[in-house]
């Protein structure tokens, strides 16, 4: 079963999840992102540190709703950290809300924690191991089984409080009773899969919060209720190191072991490394992967108080209940099996040969030891670790910040040096910072150092502005530089982050001259046409004038002839 869902469409490839992942259990190969289940210890650190919601803990509310709708009893094993995880006046309202959601039974996992504490006491009294490690945190258990197998012999061979409580509930209310654990922990979902005989499903506190919102149940408006069974103070205090307490609720001391609490992945790694090398002995360690233990799990409600507020709330709750809590011990039912065995879970990673490793490093642009920056930007501690991940298909050799930076700088340099357009970079005061060879060939035939020269020698400030008074972008400006007898089309781009302006020149002199010559041809043609027209008009007028005179003379002569004819006829 997948316990964390990866949404590649929301991922922006910042590699933050991989950087915080203690076991590098996330594969980044080009556009493919996925959780490597065989390497994952279910700590949830990746989900906590992803601010783009690309990683989500698998939601099981739908499964629990189906259990409630069935005809079987459904019980809740509620993690003791609930007391401080919700921003409410009385944590007892959580019990009431769970009953409103349809659960038949609500008990505190602290019940199982007390039972496990008694078994821990027996192990401590036996004192036949050099060191002892608690078994409450499944994420820590997975870490030991996969990465520090030589310390498995120090793990107390008993189940976690969640599993113990689940088995007690089924023994108390019937084997067909369904048990749902609710707490802040992702790893409990994986543990429930392993111990399906005791836990049927797991919800995180944030899942519970979403479900309550969906049902319009307001915790602040509910009255408080008590759980269906009461546990001991030691069980309630497990998120604060209760497993190290004696039955009186005080810090445990004995002559065999030094009792210490280790939490957070860095402390856990250091402890286990020291134990595996035999550097420390006679330690009884409560180990938790989460920094701050169970009151700082990976999936708390969105409105949870801050860490120190949560610690203070739980501490005060324990303190106030010291007098009222009458339960000091819970009898262990011998018919319920609470033993377990931890075993090595091999990690199937292929180790590259020296030749293969060298080839991958060369692909990453690492040719000598000085190139191994170990910058951790890719998420891996060292360049060698990154290369090994590439060898196993969990990473891409090209996804290396140093490699990409050098490649980008190389491409920028090639483009800058070879682009045919004159190009210069100026600062905010319009002084030249850099120019390309094409700029020198066009404007600097003496090839003097132009850095620091004001660009005003070539262009006015108005020529460089690419926005008009209304702030609208102008694609470019046409500028004629008289000294060169050339016309340029100029684009200017201001880079705010760098506070520089890049000015690109496009020589359009030939086009402008062709355009001017065409205009001259048009003008001459128009003048010639006008001259022809005027000449034709003059000719037409002359012809008309001549025709007019000829017609008049003809008319006079014809009239004379007519008169002569008429006169002769009359005679």
Q: What does the alpha-carbon distance between residue 139 and residue 116 come to, in Å, rounded to a whole number?
A: 18
- CA–CA distances in Å: residue 214 to residues 66, 184, 210, 383, 536: 16, 19, 6, 47, 94
The pLDDT of residue 213 is 94
| CA dist., res. 248 & res. 232, Å (int) | 10
Q: Which two tokens stand for residue 537?
A: 């008009």
- Report the C-alpha gap between 51 and 378 in whole angstroms: 18
Of residues 260, 261, 345, 265, the one with CA closest to residue 298: 265
Give CA–CA dist 96/88, Å, rounded.
Answer: 13
Q: How is residue 104 annotated by DSSP?
A: S
Contact yes or no for 104/75 (Cβ under 8 A): yes
For residues 192 and 64, is the Cβ–Cβ distance under 8 A? no
What is the reported pLDDT for 503?
Answer: 87
| Contact between residue 110 and residue 259 where contact means Cβ atoms under 8 Å apart | no
Buried b (16+ CB within 10 A) or exposed e, 91-104: bbbbbbbbeebebb
Give the pLDDT score at 475: 63
Q: Which residue has the tokens 């409580």?
A: 165
Report the residue count for the chain: 571
* Radius of gyration from C-alpha coordinates of the chain: 44
- Distance of alpha carbon 566 from alpha carbon 568, whole angstroms: 6
Dihedral angle sign, alpha carbons of residues 122, 126, 128, 130: positive
d(CA 517, CA 498): 43
φ/ψ region of 42 (left if φ > 0, alpha if ψ in -120 to 50, else beta) reads: left
Closest CA to 41 of 287, 240, 208, 339: 287
Phi and psi dihedrals of 231, rounded to 5? -105, -175
SS3 call for 134: coil
Q: Which fold has domain 1-58?
A: Alpha-Beta Plaits (3.30.70)
Backbone φ and ψ of 183, nearest 5°: -165, -170
Q: Tell how far CA 209 is from the center of its chain.
A: 24
Of 288, 345, 299, 298, which Cα lies nearest the Cα of 138? 288
The CATH homologous superfamily to which domain 419-507 belongs is: PAS domain (3.30.450.20)
The answer to whether the CB of 524 falls within 8 A of the CB of 542 is no
CB 456 within 8 A of CB 429: no
- The terminus-to-terminus CA distance of the chain in angstroms comes to 143
Count of beta carbons in the 10 Å neighbourhood of residue 43 = 28
DSSP letter assigned to residue 485: T
Phi and psi angles of residue 331, each rounded to the nearest 5 degrees, phi first: -70, 135
Domain parsing of the chain, residue ranges: 1-58, 75-292+301-320, 354-406, 419-507, 520-563
DSSP 28-64: EETTEEEE-TTT-----HHHHH-TTS-EEEPP-HHHH
Give me 519's structure tokens.
Answer: 């205009």
Q: How much is the pLDDT for 304?
A: 92
Strand partners, 75: 105, 179
Q: What is the rounded CA–CA span in Å between residue 438 and residue 457?
A: 18
Report pLDDT for 474. 56
Q: Which long-range contacts (CB under 8 A, 24 or more apart) does 124-130 make?
A: 124/252, 124/254, 124/256, 124/257, 124/284, 127/256, 127/257, 129/153, 129/154, 130/154, 130/281, 130/282
Helix (H, G, I), strand (E, B) or coil at 162: helix
Identify the segments of the chain with pLDDT beneath 50: 570-571
**Tell me, what's the pLDDT at 561?**
57
């Amino acid at each position: 079963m997948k316990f964390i869902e990866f949404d590649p469409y929301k991922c922006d490839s910042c590699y933050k999840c991989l950087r915080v992942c203690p076991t590098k259990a996330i594969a980044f190969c080009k556009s493919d992102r996925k959780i490597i289940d065989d390497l994952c210890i279910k700590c949830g650190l990746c989900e906590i540190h992803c601010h783009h919601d690309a990683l989500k803990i698998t939601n099981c509310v739908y499964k629990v709703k189906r259990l409630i709708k069935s005809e079987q009893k459904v019980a809740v094993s509620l993690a003791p950290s609930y007391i401080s995880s919700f921003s409410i006046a009385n944590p007892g309202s959580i019990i009431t809300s769970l009953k409103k959601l349809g659960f038949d039974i609500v008990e505190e996992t602290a019940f199982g924690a007390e039972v496990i504490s008694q078994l821990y006491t027996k192990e401590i009294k036996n004192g036949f191991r050099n060191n002892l490690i608690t078994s409450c945190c499944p994420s820590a258990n997975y870490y030991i089984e996969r990465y520090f197998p030589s310390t498995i012999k120090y793990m107390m061979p008993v189940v976690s409080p969640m599993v113990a409580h689940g088995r007690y509930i089924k023994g108390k209310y019937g084997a067909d009773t369904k048990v749902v654990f609710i707490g802040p922990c992702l790893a409990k979902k994986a543990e429930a899969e392993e111990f399906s005989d005791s836990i049927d499903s797991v919800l995180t506190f944030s899942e519970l919060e979403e479900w309550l919102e969906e049902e319009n149940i307001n915790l602040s408006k509910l009255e408080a209720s008590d759980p269906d069974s009461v546990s001991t103070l030691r069980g309630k205090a497990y998120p604060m190191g209760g497993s190290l307490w004696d039955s009186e609720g005080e810090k445990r001391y004995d002559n065999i072991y030094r009792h210490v609490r280790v939490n957070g992945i860095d402390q856990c790694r250091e402890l286990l490394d020291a134990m595996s090398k035999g550097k420390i002995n006679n330690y009884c360690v409560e180990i938790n992967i989460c920094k701050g233990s169970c009151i700082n799990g990976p999936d708390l409600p969105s409105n949870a108080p801050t860490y120190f507020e949560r610690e203070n709330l739980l501490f005060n709750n324990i303190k106030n209940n010291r007098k009222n809590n009458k339960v000091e011990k819970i009898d262990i039912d011998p018919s319920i099996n609470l033993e377990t065995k931890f075993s090595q879970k091999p990690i199937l990673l292929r180790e590259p040969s020296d030749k293969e490793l060298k080839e991958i490093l060369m692909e990453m642009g690492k040719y000598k030891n000085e190139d191994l920056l170990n910058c951790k930007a890719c998420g891996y501690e060292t360049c060698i670790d990154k290369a090994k991940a590439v060898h196993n298909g969990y990473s891409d050799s090209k996804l290396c910040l140093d490699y990409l930076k050098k490649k980008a700088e190389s491409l920028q340099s090639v483009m800058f040096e070879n682009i045919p357009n004159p190009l210069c970079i100026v600062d905010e005061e319009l002084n030249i910072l850099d120019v390309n060879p094409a700029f020198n060939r066009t404007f600097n035939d003496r090839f003097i150092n132009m850095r620091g020269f004001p660009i005003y020698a070539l262009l006015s400030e108005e020529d460089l502005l690419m926005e008009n008074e209304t702030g609208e972008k102008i694609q470019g400006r046409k500028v004629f530089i008289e000294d060169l007898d050339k016309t340029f089309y100029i684009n200017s781009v201001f880079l705010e982050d760098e506070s520089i302006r890049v000015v690109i020149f496009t020589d359009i002199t030939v086009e402008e001259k062709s355009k001017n010559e065409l205009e001259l041809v048009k003008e001459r043609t128009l003048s010639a046409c006008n001259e022809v027209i005027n000449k034709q008009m003059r000719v037409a007028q002359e012809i008309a004038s001549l025709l007019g005179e000829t017609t008049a003379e003809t008319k006079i002569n014809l009239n004379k002839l007519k008169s002569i004819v008429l006169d002769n006829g009359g005679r």
